[in-house]
Amino acid sequence: MSNLTPEQSQECKEYTQMYFICYPKAIGFAKKYVEKEEDAKDIVHSLFENLWKTGKWKDIAESPESYIMTAVRNNCFDFLNLANQKRNERIADNDDYPEQDAIDLDDKLTKEIEMKAVKKALLTLPEKCRKTIDLVYLEEKSHKEAAEILSVTVGTICKQQNIGIKKIRETLGITEKMKKK
């Protein structure tokens, strides 16, 4: 480090500080999507390595956490999609499965992964919100039916549903900008 200019030395300190603050949070966030801790660490490490090599970390240095968590989530989805592609290629190599079956399987696996993340997020909700979301979305009950089952008003069901959806989006790291895309 003694060969660095004062400016380079300052940049190293700033990057290191950002790394030590965001890295553990990013690992925990990645583990919501991928099962193995090693995979989560690899995904996050690759992200930070890329940020350093490209210098992009300087652009996000003011408020890195939101950017990093979004990038981690996207990289986890890329990782899972790649794993699904590899699995589908192995299946497609086996002549017993037509190509359309591999595509259907990929769609099914992607939906399974997304549903697994949502169900995990669902477990973090308060009981009233969780029961409401279960009834309205998983059991496909109307608001009126859910209100009757839970002995509350339809307005309460709507309120609990909105609270639950908001908390699930927060848990999954889905922002307003992402919902509009």
**Stretch 152-168: mean pLDDT, rounded?**
89
Are 129 and 82 contained in the same domain?
Answer: no
Residue 85 one-letter amino acid: Q
Q: Are residues 1 and 46 in the same domain?
A: yes
Looking at the structure of the chain, the number of domains it has is 2
Range of the domain at 144: 123-181
Same domain, 100 and 163: no
For residues 135 and 171, state if they share a domain.
yes
* Digit-coded pLDDT (tens) for 46-103: 998 988 888 888 888 777 888 888 899 999 888 888 887 777 777 666 655 555 555 6
Domain containing 168 — which CATH number?
1.10.10
Q: Same domain for 59 and 83?
A: yes
27 with 83, same domain: the answer is yes
| pLDDT over 50 at 156, yes or no | yes
Structure tokens at 47: 């992200």
Say if 172 falls within a structural domain: yes
Q: Is the pLDDT of residue 26 over 80?
A: yes
Torsion angle defined by CA atoms of residues 81, 87, 90 and 91, in that order, rounded to the nearest 10 degrees = -110
Q: Indicate whether 118 belongs to any domain.
A: no
> Would the pLDDT of 175 be above 70?
no
Q: DSSP label at 125? A: S
pTM score? 0.50
In this predicted structure, what is the pLDDT of residue 94? 61
**Is residue 21 located within the same domain as residue 63?**
yes
Q: What is the mean pLDDT of the chain?
A: 82
H runs (alpha helix) in the chain: 6-30, 37-54, 57-60, 64-93, 99-122, 127-133, 143-150, 154-172, 176-180
Say if 158 falls within a structural domain. yes
> What is the percent of the chain with per-residue pLDDT over 90, rounded to a whole number?
15
